[in-house]
Amino acid sequence: MQGLTNLKGLSLTSLPDMRCIWKGLVLSKLTTLEVIYLDKN
């Protein structure tokens, strides 16, 4: 449980950074999915 609370505190202090990272991850995942989807069709 302690690790989880530490993680929560971390993500709260660096929320803007995390948001940017998540946005980047989601966008890259979407683009790779799109490429795979287009390749299959």
* pLDDT tens by residue, 1-40: 566 666 666 656 666 777 777 888 888 898 888 888 888 8
Domain that holds residue 10: 2-40
**Residue 30 confidence (pLDDT):** 87
pLDDT (0 to 100) of residue 40:
82
**Structure-token pair, residue 29:** 């995942």
Cα–Cα dist 13/26, whole Å: 21
The pTM of this model reads 0.41
User: What's the domain count of the chain?
Assistant: 1
Q: Is 30 helix (H, G, I), strand (E, B) or coil?
A: helix
